[in-house]
Structure 1
Amino acid sequence: MNDRTLLVTGATGVLGREILRRAHETGCPVRALTRRTTPPDLPGATGTDWRTGDLVTNVGLDAALIGVDTVIHCASDPRRPKDDLPAFRHLLDAARRAGVRHVVNISIVGIDQVPLKYYRVKLEVERLLAESGLGWTNLRATQFPQLLESMLTTLARLPVLPMLAGTPCQPVHPAEVADRLVTLALGQPAGHAPDFGGPEIHPSTELAASWLRATHPRRRRVLPVHLPGRLGTALRQGHLTTPAHPDGTTTWSDYLATRRA
């Protein structure tokens, strides 16, 4: 039994739910921050100590962090990236006041190379963490298959499915990232941890074609699209992948087979 109290932000998201499951398996006390007044009922999260608070408005954080040893920070909103920085500053301030020993942050492979606004925000979050004075660990992971599927579902409304040409992608299952995050959280602060990627790298057009075959009974066509500019160049150069760290084991084909089942 591990007696370190672990608090998870973003606990109702795709990754956060997996972290709650994995954390409970370790036997450590698990706490989660939610903006809801009624705690959510999530599979595998029985026994979670839900605390109400809001990172953006800085409400309820001090009470939520009382007695917490380690925080795993997963809360983020790509739709409103401007909120991520004040939210993280509020979390760090409250963590310092509470005497938190270790803050673990999930980030994204390639944020220092791919010129996207959201990635610039994530990079600034990494900088704030490193300069916080707290014990810290930062893990960059590649894209989750659920994120890719969400994008493909939107694009599939068109007569053909447009997909970036010459762009490699390395999907990684969130359960495996969650396992790594919990392992890091229960260890000593490690600074920048090695990247974590899926087991295989595929051209994004191939991922799209295989998804179409698995999900659409009628034959559909993938239309390769050349994205110009710095963004397109960075994506084609593979900055969203980490070839040296194919640490996951669940493949894209595994994910599609599970989805069909």
Structure 2
Amino acid sequence: MFGASGTIGKATAHALIADGYSVTCFLRRSDTGEAIAAELETLGSTCRFGDITDPSSIERDAFAGGEFHAAVSCIASRSGEPGDAWAIDHQANSDILKAARQAGVQHFTLLSAICVQKPLLAFQQAKLAFERELMDSALTWSIVRPTAFFKSLSGQIERVKNGKPFLLFGDGELTRCKPISDRDLGSYLCATLTDPALRNRILPIGGPGPAISPKEQGQELFKLVGKEPLFRHVPVAMMDAVVGLLSVAGKVSGRAAARAAYARIGRYYATESMLVLDPKTHEYRADLTPETGSDTLFEHYAQMIRDDPERL
């Protein structure tokens, strides 16, 4: 499998090992990569090191000398900038697919993202381009498009614990999502290898329970830390102005162009729900967004606060 150095990839590797698969993980050699390799090897995984951006390394270091029946890719660009997105979300996955076919792999499971339904950003377009390539390949495939992750919705816990306001875009009800934990998503990705109903399908997936707005996330956090709710509202128009200014500056400055890309990503997630988009009405629909697992975001918040009580 590929991408085990990320939290979702590592959870997926754990799920595969727990289900009795013989798992080989391809990692970048770094302090983090070596630490994760040591952890996974104690559980029975084989770990190999190489360069995900080098096709010959993938062929030589990931697949050589073994018999592989399935490939699971959880890789994703770190920044979302166009260059990084096309190099990782598209090209690296394309190189993995080519090497997998040459190695006799029969099934390919891809971790994508639900936001590709409305592809306004480079990383979404890159993911879609590889999705099409995978569907056109001779392999059976599963394309998993999860909603929001617990990690991405936990960035304001410290602010709330320290008495600072919870930041909301607009009125805090512009978007909703069904967050999914790394563990539940890892188990779902693992299931695609054996469940015929999950093959040759695009699979949007969320966690259990109703769709949650940012305002509801903030209200629950304040309740958990025993503080009165305190919100600061950021107008979407302000974000648009920032994106506009950085985009103009980005025409002459690479640094500004990168910041503009980040700003556009932030603006997207501040205004677009991570739910299934109804193709007929073009509305995000919680009832059309499947659920899996048992972990909830609010349980995750409570656990994080319990794990660090002295910060309250």
Is the structural similarity TM-score above 0.5? yes
Matched, 1:202 2:212: yes
Q: Which residue of 2 aligns with 1:31?
A: 24
Runs (5+) with no aligned partner, structure 2: 241-266, 278-283, 307-312
- Corresponding position of 1:235: 272
Structure 1, 229-238 or 125-134: larger mean CA deviation: 229-238
Shift of 1:252: 1.6
Equivalent position of 1:81 in the other structure: 85
Q: Is the CA contact 2:180–2:207 (under 8 Å) kept in the aligned structure 1?
A: yes
CA distance in 2 between counterparts of 1:118 and 1:212 reads 34
Q: Which of 2, 10, 13 in structure 2 is aligned with 1:9?
A: 2
Assess if the C-alpha contact under 8 Å between 1:18 and 1:178 holds in 2. Answer: yes
Instruction: Give 1:18's aligned residue.
Output: 11
Look up the match of 1:257.
Answer: 302
Cα 1:181–1:162 change in 2 (3 A) is: same
Instruction: Check conservation: 2:206, 2:292, Cα contact below 8 A.
Output: yes
Spell out, residue by residue over 1:114-173, the C-alpha distance to the aligned partner (whole angstroms, 9 max, x if none): 5233222222221121122222111111111112113x3698799643223321122111
Give the count of matched residue pairs: 252
Distance 1:158 1:115 in 2: 35
Q: Output the amino acid matched with 1:71.
A: A
Indicate which of 27, 31, 50 corresponds to 1:53. 50
Q: How does 1:20-169 map to 2 (within 5 A)?
A: 20-36=13-29, 38=34, 40-42=37-39, 46-63=43-60, 64-65=62-63, 66-79=66-79, 80-84=84-88, 85-113=90-118, 115-150=120-155, 152=156, 160-164=165-169, 165=172, 166-169=174-177
Per residue, is there more helix in 1 or in 2? Answer: 2
Q: Which segments of structure 1 move beyond 6 Å, counting only runs of 4 or more?
A: 154-158
Give the greater-gyration-radius structure (CA).
2
Question: Greater shift after overlay, 188-197 or 103-112?
Answer: 188-197
What SS does structure 2 have at the residue aligned with 1:120?
helix
Q: TM-score, normalised by structure 1?
A: 0.83
Q: Partner residue of 1:211?
A: 221
Change in CA separation of 1:170 and 1:226 when aligned onto 2, cut-off 3 Å:
farther
Deviation at 1:96, TM superposition (A): 1.5
The residue identity in structure 2 corresponding to 1:175 is R
Give the CA RMSD over aligned residues: 3.0
For the residues of structure 2 that align with 1:27 and 1:233, how far apart are their CA atoms? 40
User: Which moved further from structure 2: 157-166 or 250-259?
Assistant: 157-166
Task: Give me the whole-angstrom Cα distance separating, in 2, the residues matched to 1:22 and 1:154.
Answer: 30
Are the counterparts in 1 of residues 28 and 50 from structure 2 also a CA contact under 8 Å? yes
- Does structure 1 retain, via aligned residues, the 8 Å contact 2:77–2:123? no
> TM-score by structure 2 length?
0.70
% same residue: 20
Contact 2:167 2:234 in 1 (8 A): yes
In 1, Cα distance between equivalents of 2:40 and 2:94: 31
Of stretches 69-78 and 200-209 in structure 1, the one that deviates more from structure 2 is 200-209
Partner of 2:231: 222
Larger strand percent: 1
Alignment partner of 1:103: what SS?
Answer: strand
Contact 2:134 2:141 (C-alpha < 8 Å) held by counterparts:
yes
* Counterpart contact for 2:157–2:221, Cα < 8 Å: no
